[in-house]
Amino acid sequence: MTYLKSASPLSTIRVQTAAGQRSRGWLTAAGLTIPVALGRGGILANKREGDGGTPRGTFRPLRLWWRADRSPRPRTLLPVRPITAEDAWCEDPTSRHYNRPLRRGAGEAGDRLQRADHLYDFIIEIDHNTTPRISGRGSAVFLHLARDNFGPTAGCIAMTRPNLLRLLARIGPKTKIVIG
User: Which domain covers residue 78, as residue numbers?
Assistant: 12-179
Please check the confidence at residue 61 and state whether its pLDDT lies above 90: yes
Q: How high is the pLDDT of residue 111? A: 83
Q: Is the pLDDT of residue 100 over 60?
A: yes
How many domains is the chain partitioned into structurally? 1
CATH assignment of the domain containing 69: 2.40.440.10
CA 39, chain centre distance (Å): 11
d(CA 175, CA 77): 10
Calculate the dihedral angle through the C-alpha atoms of 97, 110, 118, 177, rounding to the nearest 10 degrees. -30
pLDDT in tens, 77-93: 999 999 999 999 999 99
Judge whether 67 lies within some domain. yes
* Contact criterion met (CB below 8 Å) for 26 and 34: yes
